[in-house]
Structure 1
Amino acid sequence: MICMQLIVVLIRIFFSKCMMRFKFKVDLLPRDTDLNCVGDWVVEATMRKKLNVLSVHLTSSKSLVGVTGVISEIQKEKKGRDVYILGSANVGKSAFINALLKTMAINDPVAASAQRYKPIQSAVPGTTLGPIQINAFLGGGKLYDTPGVHLHHRQTAVVQSKDLPSLAPRSRLRGISFPRSSVSADNVEQVASIENGLNAFSVFWGGLVRIDVLKVLPETCLTFYGPKGLHIHMVPTEKAYEFYQKELGVLLTPPSGGENVESWKGLESERKLQIKFEDVERPACDIAISGLGWFTVEPVGRSRKISQSKPVETTEELILVVRVPKPVEIFVRPPIPVGKAGAEWYQYVELTEKEEEMRPKWYF
C-alpha cells in the first residue's frame, strides 16, 4: 500500500477481483500543482507495488472534482455487483460516500433517495462500527460503507483523541522550507549558523518527529508538508534531548495537556537514512511519517540554486536520523511533484506500447 500521508488517501472499491484506487482531497495539494504529474506519479507508485488496479482517480469530496469520473467507472465495472468503500480510519470515506450520493442523485432517483443516509464524519476512529448497506444504484447492487481499517503504524494511533483534530489538514498544504529565518529557533546565533548548513542540527516537527542531520550539503533543504498546527523548531543536536524534555507539551505539541504529556512515551523508534542522489536539480526523496505528513529532501534548495554563483559541492549521500513514537513507521519514497516546481523537475517514464497498454489509466 502506498503511504502518502494527509493528502493521498486510498479508497478501494472491489468488484470480486476488480479494484479501483482513488487519491482524493486533491484540493489540499499546494497551489499550481500539475495534476498530470501527480496522476502519473500515483500510477508509477501503484505499478511498483504490483497491485491489480483498474484505474486511478484524483478527486475531491469537497469540490466534487473527479467524482463524475469515479461514478462512470463504477457503473462500467459494477455489472450488478456490490461496491465496498474501504480505507484506513479517518481518511474521509464518509465524505467520499456523501460526494458519490450527491453527484449520482442528479440522474438517479435511487441515489437521490439514498441521500437520506448521512455517514457520520468524525476525527475520532471507530465512528463506523460495522458495514452499512446503502441502496444507491438503479439496476442492482448495493453500496457499502465500512469501518476504517485501524493501522497501528500511524500517528493517529498513538496520540490522544483530543489531539486528533490537529493532525487533520483543513486547507491547502503549503510547503515550509527549512532552513529559513522564519522557522522557530532559540536565538539569533542559531538562525545565522543555519547559513552554514543543517549539519549537527536537530529539527523537531511538533512533539511527534525529531530529525537529526548528520551529513548534508551546505545548501541542503528540507520542505515540510503537513498540519499547519505542527510547528517546526531547530536546535543544535547536542542540546536536542534537553530541549525536548523542557518544551514537550509547550512549544512541541502534540501531545498537549498535562496528563497527555505525563503518559507520553517519547520518540522511541529510530531510523537512520542514507539517501543517495544523482541530480542536484531535483529532490532526492520524500520521507513520509505515517498518519502525519512528509518532508522532501532537496540536496540543494531552490533558493540556493537561484543565488548559487559557484559549482555545488557533491557528496555520495545524505545522512539523517529520524525519530518517531513506536510503532509509527517512516517511509522513503520518490518525491511527489507538488507545486509549480514539481512540474519543472518531474520526469515522465518512457514506456513501450505494450507497457502503456498494461498500465492503469488515471483521471481527474
Structure 2
Amino acid sequence: MSTETIQHCAGCGIGLQTEVKSKLGFIPEVALQKEPLICQRCYRIKHYNESSSITLQQDDFLKLLGHVGQTKALVVKIVDIFDFEGSMISSLARFIGNNPVLLVVNKIDLLPKVTNANKIINWVQRRVKEENLKVVDIVLCSAKKNIGFDRVISAVQEYRGNMDVYVVGATNVGKSTLINRLISDYSDLEAELTTSQYPGTTLDLVKIPLDDGKFIIDTPGIVYKHRLTEVVKKRDLTPLMPDKPLKPMVFQLNEGQTLFFGALVRFDFIQGEHQSFTIYTSNAIQIHRTKLERADQLYEEHKGVMLTPPAQADLEELPKLVKHPLHIPKGKQMDVLISGLGWIKVNSLAGAQLAVHAPKGIKVITRESLI
C-alpha cells in the first residue's frame, strides 16, 4: 500500500498497511474490499474479544505516556515476576502525572508452588519503592492460569471510579492475555471501536468501550532491548520462556568454576568459599559446568553445537558476550538477575566475586533475593 493512497483504520485510526503482520495497522489485502476498513488488531477485538501483541520502541512509548499524564485515568501496569526488573518501566512515574497506578504482577504461576504470596508482595513493595513508583495496590496473578484474576477485576473496579483505564506493559509480560480477560469480563463490545489517536503521533491506542461510557485503553507493548527475549530468534523464545512452574536447580561450586546457559550466558564463580547457587531459569535451558580456566576454549569449540540455544547458524546475529563483574557482600542474600533468562540465587552469606557474560546490552543486576 503506497503512502499516496494510505487509508486509516475505522476502529483505532492507525494508517493501514498490508506488508508486515506484526506491525501496527496490518490489514490482509482481501479485507481492503470491505467496509468499514478495520486493521487486524481492531477486527480481532471486535469479533473475537481478543487483543493482539503490537509493540513500540521505547521513545515512541514514552511519547504515549506523556499523553496519559494529561488525562485523568487509572494506569494498570503489568510486570512479569520472572523478569521483574527487565519488565519494569523505570520512567513511568515521571510521565503519568498524578494518576493512580495499579501494579499487576503476572505469571505468578511460574514460581515454585511453596512460594509464600505475602513475602512476594512485600518484596515487590520494596522493589517498587526503589523505583520511586507509588502504587495504590499490588495484585499477584496469572492471566494464563486464571489465578488471582478476580482480584485484578475488583481492584480495577475499586480504583478507577469513573475514569478510563490505561493498560501498559513491556512485550512478553502477558499483557495481551490479561487484557483479553479484561475485555471478556468488562465489556460486551456492543459499541463500535472508536478512533483514539492523539494529534501529532502515530501511536496505536485501541479503546475498548465499557458499560458506563468509559474505556479500557490497550497500549502497544514496549520493546526493551535489555531483555534477552528481545534479541534471540523467535524459535529460541520457547526454551527461554518457561510455561510451567520453575524447578530450581542447585549447583555446589568451588571458586574457579563456570556455568554455561546454552551459548547465551556464562556465569563465573571467581572467588569465594565453596557454596551453593540456585538456578531459576526455564528447565528447557541446558546448563553445562566447567572450570573457569577452560571456559573460553569450551565456548569457542562448542557454541551452537553442545552449547545451545542458539543454534550455530544464529550465533552471528546475537550480540557479542560482554563481561559484568559482580560483588556479593558478606551477610547479604542476593540474586543475580539476567533479564529474560531468569536469576541465580547466591545461597551463602559468605560473599563472592562473580562475573556474568551476557550479550551486549542485556541487563545484569544484583538484587535482594526474591525467594
Task: State TM-score, norm by structure 2.
Answer: 0.69
Aligned to 2:267: 211
Distance 1:159 1:140 in 2: 42
Secondary structure of 2:226's match? coil
Aligned with residue 168 of structure 2, among 82, 86, 110: 86
**CA distance 1:67–1:294, shift in 2 (3 Å):** same
C-alpha separation in 2, matches of 1:5 and 1:294:
11
Q: Paired residue for 1:250?
A: 305
Counterpart Cα distance in 2 of 1:140 and 1:211 = 53
1:27-73 CA deviation, whole Å, 9 max, x = no partner?
11112111111111111211222212111000111232222222222
* 1:36 counterpart letter in structure 2: N
The within-5 A match list for 1:229-240 is 229-240=284-295
Deviations 1:241-268 (A, max 9, x none): 1111111112222212x4312444431x
| Equivalent residue for 2:331, pick from 278, 281, 293 | 278
Task: Say which SS state the counterpart of residue 139 (structure 1) adopts.
Answer: coil
Give matches, 1:23-172, under 5 Å: 23-104=105-186, 111-113=187-189, 130-135=204-209, 137-172=210-245
Q: Name the counterpart of 1:18.
A: 100
Which deviates more from structure 2 when the two are superposed, residues 159-168 or residues 209-218?
A: 159-168
The residue identity in structure 1 corresponding to 2:165 is V
Tell me the distance in 2 between the aligned counterparts of 1:272 and 1:2.
30
Question: What is the aligned partner in structure 2 of residue 6 from structure 1?
Answer: 82
- Amino acid in structure 1 at the alignment position of 2:217: Y
Measured against aligned partners, the alpha-carbon deviations of 1:292-316 in whole angstroms (never above 9, x if no partner) come to: 211101117xxxxxxxxxxxxxx5x
The Cα of 1:204 is off from its aligned counterpart by 0.7
TM-superposed CA distance for 1:238, in Å, is 1.1
- Rounded Cα–Cα distance in structure 2 between residues aligned with 1:174 and 1:28: 9
Higher relative contact order (CA 8 A, sep 6+): 1
Give CA deviations for 1:50-105 in whole Å, capped at 9, x if unaligned. 2121110001112322222222222222233221111111111000112223444x
Q: Does 1:324 align with 2:358?
A: yes
Whether the 8 Å CA contact 2:121–2:138 is kept in 1: the answer is: yes
> Cα distance 1:115–1:57, how it changes in 2: closer, same or farther (>3 A)?
farther
Q: Any gaps of 5 or more consecutive residues in structure 2?
A: 1-76, 194-202
- The superposition leaves residues 254-296 of structure 1 with CA deviations (integer Å, 9 ceiling, x where unpaired) of 212x4312444431x21111111327xxxx2011111221110
Q: How many aligned positions are there?
A: 280
Cα RMSD between the aligned structures? Answer: 2.8
Partner SS for 1:294:
strand
Unpaired runs of 5+ in structure 1? 105-110, 118-128, 180-196, 301-314, 338-364
Q: Percent identity?
A: 31
Residues 10 and 61 from structure 1, CA distance in 2 versus in 1: closer, same or farther, beyond 3 angstroms? farther
Aligned mates of 1:249, 1:79 — CA distance in 2: 54
Give the Cα–Cα distance (whole angstroms) in 2 for the partners of residues 237 and 250 of structure 1.
Answer: 20
The answer for the alignment partner of 1:200 in structure 2 is 256
Distance 1:3 1:68 in 2: 18
Name the amino acid aligned to 2:329.
Answer: K
Query: For the structure 1 residues 89 and 68, does the alpha-carbon distance in structure 2 shift closer, same or farther, using more than 3 Å as the test?
Result: same
Q: Tell me the CA shift for residue 114 of structure 1.
A: 7.0
